[in-house]
Amino acid sequence: MTVFSLPDLGEGLQSAEIVAWQVSVGDHVIADQPLVSVETDKAVVEIPAPFSGTVKALLVKAGDIVATDAPLVEITTGKAEDSGAIVGDLVSGKKAAAKAMAQAPSKTATDGSQTAVKATPAVRKLAREEGVDLSVVAGSGPDGAILSADVLSATSGLARGEELRGVRRAMAMVMTNAHANAVPATVTDHADIHNWLPGEVPTLRLVQAIAAACKAEPALNAWFDGTRRQLHNHVDLALAVDTADGLFTPVLRAVEAGEDIPEKIAALRAAIETRSISPRQMKGATITLSNFGMIGGEHAVLVVVPPQVAILGAGRITDAIVVAEGAPAVRRLLPLSLTFDHRVVTGGEAARFLAALRAHLEQPNITRKE
């Protein structure tokens, strides 16, 4: 009998949530076959079987939060008994999971046709225990698969309340740590973008402006661990992305190079939508952008997430009457909010960064090279 524990998933992760088992007690598994799906810091990761054998016991269930090195499953590594359910010898684990999902109840699509509910046996068992009809649950997993978190969300209207899971749990932990380990201060301004060319994309312009501002005032493109400051000669920009599941912050690498930025942003958003984004794609940012103005709001006091020392917020673009060339004029204004960790960034550094950012945004030509 061998006990397999939750392995170190890297990126400093200390725990993971069990999403779904791909095997059941009595199944024979082979090495590297998909064993269990877990959700780490906003990403779903598939853990393979470390060796071949027969599943003796599943030590945790879907929805459990398991610490690194905690036991997951008992596997008998001797000759497999004939349990009538051999997994891995005949088909791969992924195909078996797909077959299990295909056996789920069907649900009616908007056009009246019947479509199969994509859910593993473990998720369907959880749904039965919670009294949830899977045919009315929207899946947030790959290809619309229903995860345990989706089932638990469907029970959130009960009087017992809702325990934070998955993305929202990760967000709560990050925000709690940020609140305890940063001293935030905020400066605000407006950028006059009236002379932008037709078709300008605000997010793209903001990314370019942040790269320029980091070059002009590097103090905000840094990490601080409470003792040591590390300045960066590259800009890895975290983009705050709002979803129904919670906040994602995928990282756009080396934005100072200015290469294929729209395509890279689109790829990150697509990975979030399919929940295929990896933990590495959300780690290592040197500064953050929150373009909340696409939803609403003008200015905001944002949260700096250590070890970063700054986050820029962009508010709702509006028309306003301002003085332009000595006379009143209606201009398009973009509100800017820069929150920084005042332990390591001075007010002067923050003001210079914001001034450089504003100057870049007020240029009419996005093709200008720095």
Domain range for 141: 101-173
Judgement on whether residues 210 and 116 belong to the same structural domain of the protein = no
227 and 325 belong to one structural domain: yes
Same domain? For 16 and 40 the reply is yes
158 and 215 together in one domain: no
pLDDT(52) > 80: yes
Segment 329-338 mean pLDDT: 96
What is the DSSP code string of 324-338?
ETTEEEEEEEEEEEE
**With 70 as the cut, is the pLDDT of residue 19 above it?**
yes
Q: Is residue 96 part of a domain?
A: no
- The per-residue pLDDT for 161 is 55
Q: Determine which of 133-137, 281-285, 296-300, 310-314 has the lowest per-residue pLDDT on average.
A: 133-137
**Helix, strand or coil, per DSSP, at residue 328:** strand
| Cβ 191 vs Cβ 336: under 8 Å | yes
Asked whether residue 131 falls in the same domain as residue 196, the answer is no
Same-domain pairing of 246 and 314: yes
The CATH number given to whatever domain includes residue 25 is 2.40.50.100
Q: What pLDDT is recorded for position 106?
A: 52
105/83 same-domain check: no
CA dihedral 193, 199, 200, 202 (to 10 degrees): 90
Q: Residue 32, SS3?
A: coil
Domain boundary among 117, 151, 173: 173
Answer whether residue 196 is part of any domain. yes
What digits encode the pLDDT tens for the residues 260-286? Answer: 999 999 999 999 988 888 888 999 999
CATH of residue 303's domain is 3.30.559.10
Would you say residue 356 lies in a domain?
yes
Same domain, 357 and 277: yes
Classify residue 370: in a domain, yes or no.
no
Side-chain half-sphere exposure of 32, counting CA atoms within 13 A: 0
Of 16-20, 163-167, 359-363, where does mean pLDDT reach its minimum? Answer: 163-167
Residue that the structure tokens 């109840």 belong to:
105
Q: What is the C-alpha separation between 134 and 362, in angstroms, rounded? A: 51
The single-letter code of the amino acid at 116 is A
What's the structural domain count of the chain? 3
Rounded CA-CA distance 98/120 in Å is 8
Q: Report if residue 322 sits inside a domain.
A: yes
Q: Residue 41 above 60 pLDDT? A: yes
* pLDDT tens digits for range 185-222: 999 999 999 999 888 999 999 999 999 999 999 999 99
Kindly state whether residues 209 and 348 are assigned to the same domain.
yes
Please report the pLDDT score of residue 211 as a whole number.
97
